[in-house]
Amino acid sequence: MSIFGAAALGVVEGLTEFLPISSTGHLKITESLLGYPTDDTSVVAFTAVIQVGAIAAVVVYFLRDIARIAGAWLHGLTNREARVERDYKFGWWVILATVPIVVAGLAAKPLIDGPLASLWVVAGSLVAGSAYMWIAERRAAVLAATSRPARGELESTFADAMVVGSSQILALLFPGFSRSGASISTGLLRGLDRVAATRLSFFLSIPALAGAGLYELKDAVGGGVGIAPLVVGTVISFVVAYAVVAWLLWFVAHYTFRGFIWYRLALAAALIVALAIGAVSA
């Protein structure tokens, strides 16, 4: 992989990882345009590794929150009285809510790296994910029209974390669905407000994506991608993702995801046409 290709994929990863438009789908489209086989083991591993840069951006952005939660969790392991604190419980929520996607990832890895890596799957998943997001938006609109307000972050529950965490499997199996789109939309369907659903999605993304990146590191290096492209792609994804995280938290406090839904549908239509005429390889 060239440095230019790595840099381009790093920009795409940083821009799309936390927006509800599917980073995996955009990466696979970009890989195809650059001439890289989307189902090649080393290429799949490369995209997983550079996600670590985006996750590092989340860790840095939420460092105070993460340090507080981690401290409360560690304190609660040895102090029974500290276990009543919400931060201690939330630490366990994040750990336990990550288990379903880890199990699914390990069990379905041959499918994820093979048949499900097709751009036809990406196109279909963009449409399906858009429908899911639209249903969540309708739910949020109906809730807003009633006297019952959406729940804030401090009102979220263990059940919310488990359901939202499990929803990440949709994006794992179907590239194009969008991990952030699935998890934030699931939070909205659970009755959380946009900021609470988005922050929960961010926290749940940390162990899932960091673990995937570290797991795939050996395949990326061993597959001939090279250390330099990995470093370039990861660093660029970190810088771009940090800006996106800050912007998205502001955006969800003021606007809906309808613009993203229309973008996803337009991209799906363009991709289907490109595949049908042979402009890109599936």
pLDDT tens for residues 40-85? 778 888 888 888 899 999 999 999 999 999 999 999 999 999 999 9
Neighbours of 77 (CB within 10 A): 11
**Residue 133 — very low, low, confident or very high, per pLDDT cuts 50/70/90?**
very high
Q: Count structural domains, the chain.
A: 1
* CA separation for the pair 244, 238 (Å, rounded): 10
Contact 153, 167 (CB under 8 A): no
**DSSP per-residue letters across 159-205:** HHHHHHHHHHHHHHHSTTS-HHHHHHHHHHHTTB-HHHHHHHHHHHH
Range of the domain at 172: 3-276
Under the banding of pLDDT at 50, 70 and 90, the label for residue 222 is low
Q: Is residue 281 one of the residues assigned to a domain?
A: no
Range of lowest pLDDT (61-75, 108-122, 157-171, 256-270):
108-122
What was the pLDDT predicted at 211?
81
| pLDDT tops 90 at residue 219 | no
Q: What angle do CA 35, 209, 31 make, to 5 degrees?
A: 5
Residue given tokens 């590239």 in the structure block: 175
SS3 151: strand
Residue 39, pLDDT above cutoff 90:
no
Nearest to 190 by CA among 245, 227, 257, 135: 135
Residue 216 has pLDDT above 80, yes or no: no
pTM: 0.90
- The mean pLDDT value for 109-130 works out to 90
Question: For residues 24 and 44, what is the distance between their CA atoms, to the nearest angstrom?
Answer: 10
Mean pLDDT of 114-118: 85
**Residue 102, pLDDT score:** 92
**What pLDDT does residue 221 have?**
65
pLDDT-above-70 percentage for the chain: 97
> Whole-angstrom Cα distance, residue 214 to residue 220?
10
Res 224 pLDDT > 80: no
Please write the tens of the pLDDT for every residue from 92-103.
Answer: 999 999 999 999
Q: Is residue 282 part of a domain?
A: no
pLDDT of residue 223 exceeding 70, the answer is: no
| pLDDT above 90 (res 113) | no
Could you write out the three-class secondary structure of 69-134? HHHHHHHHHHCHHHHHCHHHHHHHHHHHHHHHHHHHHHHCHHHHHCHHHCHHHHHHHHHHHHHHHH
Directed axis angle between helix 23-34 and helix 3-16, to 10°?
A: 160
